[in-house]
Amino acid sequence: MSAVTTPSDQTTDPAGRVELADGSVPSGPYANRDLLPVPVAQRRWTTYNFAALWVGMAHNIASWTLASGLIALGMDWKQAILTIAAANLVVLVPMLLTGHAGPKYGIPFPVFARAAFGIRGANLPALVRAAVACVWFGIQTWIGGSAIFLLAGRLLGDWWSGAGHIGEFPWTQWLSFLLFWALQIGIIVRGMETVRRFENWAAPFVIAGAVALLIWMSVKAGGFGPLLDQPSKLGWGRGFWKVFFPSLMGMIGFWSTLSLNIPDFTRYAATQRAQLWGQSLGLPTTMTAFALLSVLVTSGSQAVYGTAIWDPVALAAKLDDWAALLFALVTVLIATLSVNIAANTVSPAFDLSNMAPRRISFRAGALITAGVGVVIFPWKLLSSPEAYIYTWLGTVAGLLGTVAGVLIADYWVIRRTRLDLADLYRHGGRYWYDAGWNWRAVLAFAVGGVLAVGGSYSAASSGPFPADGLIPFLKPLADYGWAVGLATSLVLHTALTRLLPPREDPARQD
């Protein structure tokens, strides 16, 4: 593959930020206003904006159930924090590597993926990412709706909480789910600037609410001692490590979505330094601190109630004072809104827009995401920590790690961070490959994906996978899915591109 030179239709400022030259803005079938590079003058997000974004996303109820679920699986608080801290330090690395393209080129994830997969082929990783986000949107919306249902039941009485059932739940709980769904749509259709402002004030509010819940639990337990004294059911021997590695992959899987589409946010960064420090300070520190809060409260619930209550909505239901209950559940709602809007609506909106730029705008993509989130069954995934951490997060981690490996190999190893902005939107340019697809990236993704998730199995008899794995001889790899997928696709995509380089468009060798 020939060296990538600097195209004449883009300019670079002293800070290394690239934008299209005047008169070079693409207008073809693969471009729309939402997918075009953000002009340098509009890249204004600071270190605080990114740190606040991560505080808002890390301090959410899914994060809480993730951490407290480890307690329910038998870990003590030290083991749970070790697992979560290690996972977030690991996932921060691909987060920063893929995030680099955002401040430099101002492009969202699906456009960034075009360089590796091809202009049409980028729809493959975009659809994988969008599908995961739609499921996450449904999970978070169900949590938020459950909080509304519980709060309304306390305020309105039995006629609400004891309403007739439609299927598994009262019709009032389904109504609560739809109300929370509509609230999120009302925020996201106002655009990215509204998202930024919402995240800035939601972050400190959620922190205050989580600390208040910890104080309440410590009072109920008679101090912090009982919260810290709950022993591990696994010990530090083979039993712990058997749970640790699949749990680690699950924790990585939790944010492996953002390790792909973080350019959707870093494209608004004022400088490369802003995204680097904002993410480094925001993700591992706040996620670990929030995890500590959740495992301490869950340990406290075990000491007070005799069982680990890993669902914060169920725990809030035990509050006796209605004002305290109101505060706790408003905190749940804001926390859930914060992460669902930022992590699970913004990115798939761009991904879906990439499929048909002329027909699907950012707002239309957000509405499609929200619609899919209604028709899935998120309450099934939240039914047990085994299903949540092993089955859902472990499988997701393997697939998304495979995409991350291709992107990192292409951007850092093969292209050395140099992209041709105009060609990312141009039919027949250097990223057109074969009819818009780069078969090397697709093959690397396919092989990595099979190795990463082919051996998926269910530890419980009621799980969706066979006990001996989907592909039995791959079962030993299943507990390391994210790492296997990333390493395989990174090496294979690099090797295929070096050995069988794509043919460049001679007209673009300027």
How high is the pLDDT of residue 505?
Answer: 46
pLDDT band at residue 384, thresholds of 50, 70 and 90? Answer: low
How high is the pLDDT of residue 100?
Answer: 95
Tell me the residue type at 356. A
127-156: burial string, b at 16+ Cβ within 10 Å, e else: bbbbbbbbbbbbbbbbbbbbbbbbbbbbee
How high is the pLDDT of residue 437?
Answer: 96
Largest CA distance in the chain: 74
Rounded Cα gap, residues 157 and 143, in angstroms:
20
Output phi, psi for 214, to 5 deg. Answer: -65, -45
How high is the pLDDT of residue 458?
Answer: 62
Q: Are 461 and 424 in contact (CB under 8 A)?
A: no
Residue 446, classified by CB atoms within 10 Å of its CB into exposed (0-12), middle (13-18) or buried (19+), is middle
Can you tell me whether residue 59 is helix, strand or coil? coil
Of 8-17, 109-118, 174-183, where does mean pLDDT reach its minimum? Answer: 8-17
Average pLDDT for 377-386 = 62
How high is the pLDDT of residue 8?
Answer: 66
96 vs 391 pLDDT, higher one: 96
How high is the pLDDT of residue 232?
Answer: 66
Distances in whole angstroms, Cα of residue 322 to Cα of each of 80, 222, 325, 429: 32, 22, 5, 62
- Token couple for 502: 């794509």
Rounded Cα gap, residues 122 and 27, in angstroms:
18
How much of the chain exceeds pLDDT 90, in percent?
Answer: 25
Rounded Cα gap, residues 456 and 453, in angstroms:
5
Of 311, 298, 317, 343, the C-alpha closest to 148 is 317
Q: Are 18 and 104 in contact (CB under 8 A)?
A: yes
Of 126-140, 377-391, 413-427, 468-482, where does mean pLDDT reach its minimum? Answer: 377-391
Distances in whole angstroms, Cα of residue 324 to Cα of each of 286, 291, 330, 483: 24, 22, 10, 43
Distances in whole angstroms, Cα of residue 245 to Cα of each of 240, 259, 383: 9, 20, 22
pLDDT band at residue 106, thresholds of 50, 70 and 90? Answer: very high
- Whether the pLDDT of residue 227 is over 90: the answer is no
pLDDT band at residue 162, thresholds of 50, 70 and 90? Answer: confident
pLDDT in tens, 176-216: 988 888 888 877 777 666 666 666 666 677 777 777 777 87
Can you tell me whether residue 434 is helix, strand or coil? strand
SS3 content of the chain, % helix, strand, coil (to 5): 70, 5, 30
* Alpha helix segments (H runs only) across 262-393: 263-266, 272-305, 312-316, 322-344, 346-355, 362-375, 378-381, 385
Class at the top of the CATH hierarchy for domain 42-373 = mainly alpha
Q: Are 59 and 342 in contact (CB under 8 A)?
A: no
Can you tell me whether residue 212 is helix, strand or coil? helix
How much of the chain exceeds pLDDT 70, in percent?
Answer: 83
Output phi, psi for 269, to 5 deg. Answer: -70, 140
Which H or E element spans position 403?
A: helix 394-408
Rounded Cα gap, residues 106 and 280, in angstroms:
20
pLDDT in tens, 124-144: 998 888 887 787 788 888 888
Rounded Cα gap, residues 217 and 298, in angstroms:
9
Rounded Cα gap, residues 67 and 79, in angstroms:
10
- Whether the pLDDT of residue 242 is over 90: the answer is no
Domain ranges of the chain: 42-373
pLDDT band at residue 220, thresholds of 50, 70 and 90? Answer: confident
pLDDT in tens, 446-496: 999 999 888 876 665 555 666 677 788 888 887 788 889 999 999 999 999
Q: Which residue has the tokens 């994060």?
A: 63
Rounded Cα gap, residues 272 and 162, in angstroms:
53
Distances in whole angstroms, Cα of residue 339 to Cα of each of 29, 61, 109, 380: 32, 9, 18, 20
Average pLDDT for 248-276 = 86
Rounded Cα gap, residues 448 and 495, in angstroms:
14
- Whether the pLDDT of residue 301 is over 60: the answer is yes
Rounded Cα gap, residues 431 and 127, in angstroms:
19
The contacts of residue 506 (CB under 8 Å, 6+ apart) are none
294 vs 89 pLDDT, higher one: 89
Residue 157, classified by CB atoms within 10 Å of its CB into exposed (0-12), middle (13-18) or buried (19+), is exposed
Nearest-Å Rg of the Cα atoms of the chain is: 23
- Whether the pLDDT of residue 509 is over 60: the answer is no
Neighbouring C-alpha atoms within 13 Å toward the C-beta of 108: 24
How high is the pLDDT of residue 124?
Answer: 92
396 vs 99 pLDDT, higher one: 99
How high is the pLDDT of residue 475?
Answer: 83
